[in-house]
Structure 1
Amino acid sequence: MDMTYLSRDVLGVSSSTGSVTVYQHSNDDKATLSSLASWDRCHALASGDAASCTGLSSNGSMLASVGEDARLLLLNPGETAPHRVIESGGDSSEYAVVFVKTSEVLTGNMQGHLRLWDTRTSGNSPVTTMISNLQEWVRQVSCHPSQQHVVAAAGEGGTLTLWDMRSPQQPFTCISAHTAPMTEARFHSGASDHLFSCGLDGQLVHWDASNTSNITSKHTGSDGSPGLVTSWLDARVGRGEVSTTALLSSGPLPLNSLDVQADVLLAASDNEAIYVIRNVILY
């Protein structure tokens, strides 16, 4: 269901059986995988049936997983049982999760709620809850690589929603992005003015907000503090004026996931192919 790296050669994998496994892969010619830790059926329904583990994220030492049992689990590869179980308090499946900071986790669910959790506290109440007027299923969330208060959410209705978590009352903007449910939206880690998205419509889209970077746009947080300057919070982005390029046009089958590093982008499709796009223009 999802994969994420904890380090260069250690990755976590979640499955539809509700299990999470941590693997280490060798860098030799054999390219072997060995299991370092596993939590079988750690996501399960009250009936005892397995609940799919739908999302996985890492802060480098710990894994956060969410699933159809509406729970957030913190998993330490050195412990046989979940390090912590957080009951979300709702009956809506959690489908997306990402570490915003080392001790803060953001989740998204089928009701369109984004909730921020502080893992240092002992309670089961989120620090912040953000609700979009669209109320559509949040399938995946991505944080800006250097300004973690900026969040992009991929929606079931094909909508790209940008949030400023300093002003959580409403999203900064909602942009019609795909003609079918989005499966992923991801900021480029080294060129944060660029974002990439894919969806069940078979499209792979490059979003470029760098044309707003030459204008200083101030933003004030809900607490009155001055905000950081970022191209994604520019007024023109709020109006949907973002340059877009279709890297893959609509195909007969969905695109399920993507990743990008430097100027190389990978996308996985339902046709059991991985597309490799090189020389992605970022400047």
Structure 2
Amino acid sequence: QDNRISIWSVGDLGNVGLNGEYQGEPQLLCDIRHNGDVMDMQFLDQERIVVASSTGDVTIFRHHQNNQTLSANQRWEKAHYHVDRQASCGGAACTGVICNNPEIVTVGEDGRINFFRADQKGAMRTIDNADSSTLHAVTFLRTTEILTVNSIGQLKIWDLRQQRNEPSQILSLTGDRVPLHCVDRHPNQQHIVATGGQDGMLSIWDIRQGTMPVSLLNAHEAEMWEVHFHPSDPDHLFTCSEDGSLWHWDTSTNVSEKPSFLHQGGRSSTYFSHNTINQSVVSAWLSNDPTKDRMEITNLIPNQTLSVNSLDVLGPCLVYGTDAEAIYVNRHLFA
């Protein structure tokens, strides 16, 4: 199978249909062959894209905007591997990548965490046995801290200032060890994290509080593949699933009037986070029951049956890809 990395232009905001769908033809600007399945992708900057491969390779592709071509700029071969890096088939899938230019962190099926810097040849640091199970996703909590999720329902926090290769904190779903597939951190309040996994549930965590999720919300009927807070309006969150649905979770309704209580072990404590632009004083996500009176949930693609594998959101735009081998762009999220 010939896998490719493609750069598209979706044109200007002029041609929009009644339901906010983009009507102009998206244009393929350029593409390039990719070895193995693409497991994850992240822009490092305006021109460079970091790509995780099922072969274990991690590649930086550069988009040359002057002549609309893509080229492989840098590659770390078999950054992830099972037993022997030298073996011809020894690669383990690199499952997740996160960038904070120039730093790149990757996780994989081999339970490894790699720290790379763009333009440096080898890994700056590798935690070989970070996990005995598959690591599925990674995110930065702050510049010196990352969070990983694994296939036995655990979140692990790693303090990059520490030289010892142990997590500084472990949080986990109780009971069944449900594999977690995706994680995102609240853009303004780094202690709030959302995860999703094999059971389709949405879990909201406060990493300052205890080791269990603050709330578990019934969501999809199959695996949740991706979760994203809106980067500039984090009262909105988006999840997509194998069941063919893409949900918009909106906690922005009347939140300011309601204090948020976080119950744990019989104690109730109230947290007032620093007021940030576009955000109520108290985060609705930390309510003990966020769905009560304060959340609207909408399936943005009600008639879809094939898996929605990936999504991203920026400003009024949502883009998602499905098993129909199609990419969809909704340009009027909040219309």
Identify the residue that residue 91 of structure 1 maps to in structure 2: 132
Say if 1:62 and 1:179 are closer, same or farther in 2 by CA, change over 3 A: same
Following the alignment from structure 2 to structure 1, what is the Cα–Cα distance between the partners of residues 99 and 141? 10
Indicate the structure (1 or 2) with the bigger Cα radius of gyration: 2
Q: Does 1:32 align with 2:73?
A: no
Look up the SS of the partner of 1:214 in the other structure.
helix
- Residue from 238, 248, 263 that aligns with 2:301: 248
Residue 84 of structure 1 aligns to which amino acid in structure 2? R
Q: Structure 1: which 5+ runs fail to align?
A: none
Say if 1:226 and 1:236 are closer, same or farther in 2 by CA, change over 3 A: closer
Alpha-carbon offset, residue 233 of structure 1: 1.1
Residue 150 of structure 1 aligns to which amino acid in structure 2? I
Question: Contact (CA 8 Å) 1:17, 1:52: kept in 2 or not?
Answer: yes
Question: Contact (CA 8 Å) 2:262, 2:286: kept in 1 or not?
Answer: no
With structure 2 as the length reference, what TM-score do the two structures score?
0.79
Say if 1:51 and 1:249 are closer, same or farther in 2 by CA, change over 3 A: same
Identify the residue that residue 206 of structure 1 maps to in structure 2: 248
Question: Contact (CA 8 Å) 1:197, 1:205: kept in 2 or not?
Answer: yes
Q: How many residue pairs end up in the alignment? A: 280
Identify the residue that residue 147 of structure 1 maps to in structure 2: 189
Look up the SS of the partner of 2:44 in the other structure.
strand
Alpha-carbon offset, residue 89 of structure 1: 4.4
CA deviations 1:158-189 (Å, max 9, x no partner) are 01100001113210101111011000010000
Following the alignment from structure 2 to structure 1, what is the Cα–Cα distance between the partners of residues 115 and 159? 12
Following the alignment from structure 1 to structure 2, what is the Cα–Cα distance between the partners of residues 167 and 110? 22
Q: Does 1:17 align with 2:17?
A: no
With structure 1 as the length reference, what TM-score do the two structures score?
0.92
Identify the residue that residue 97 of structure 2 maps to in structure 1: 56
Q: Does 1:272 align with 2:321?
A: no
Identify the residue that residue 176 of structure 1 maps to in structure 2: 218
Residue 8 of structure 1 aligns to which amino acid in structure 2? Q
Residue 3 of structure 1 aligns to which amino acid in structure 2? M
* 235-244 or 161-170: bigger deviation: 235-244
Residue 40 of structure 1 aligns to which amino acid in structure 2? E
- CA root-mean-square deviation: 2.1
Following the alignment from structure 1 to structure 2, what is the Cα–Cα distance between the partners of residues 271 and 240? 36
CA deviations 1:170-211 (Å, max 9, x no partner) are 101011110110000100001110001101011111100012
Q: Does 1:217 align with 2:259?
A: yes
Residue 76 of structure 1 aligns to which amino acid in structure 2? R
Look up the SS of the partner of 1:168 in the other structure.
coil
Following the alignment from structure 1 to structure 2, what is the Cα–Cα distance between the partners of residues 198 and 241? 21
Alpha-carbon offset, residue 97 of structure 1: 0.4
Question: Contact (CA 8 Å) 1:19, 1:38: kept in 2 or not?
Answer: yes
Residue 116 of structure 1 aligns to which amino acid in structure 2? I
CA deviations 1:10-47 (Å, max 9, x no partner) are 2210100000011221223x421122221011100015
- Residue from 45, 62, 78 that aligns with 2:82: 45
Alpha-carbon offset, residue 79 of structure 1: 1.4
Following the alignment from structure 2 to structure 1, what is the Cα–Cα distance between the partners of residues 262 and 223? 32
Question: Contact (CA 8 Å) 1:56, 1:64: kept in 2 or not?
Answer: yes
Look up the SS of the partner of 2:290 in the other structure.
helix
Question: Contact (CA 8 Å) 1:173, 1:239: kept in 2 or not?
Answer: no
Residue 203 of structure 1 aligns to which amino acid in structure 2? S
Following the alignment from structure 1 to structure 2, what is the Cα–Cα distance between the partners of residues 79 and 124? 22
Question: Contact (CA 8 Å) 1:104, 1:118: kept in 2 or not?
Answer: yes
Alpha-carbon offset, residue 258 of structure 1: 0.2
Q: Structure 2: which 5+ runs fail to align?
A: 1-38, 274-281
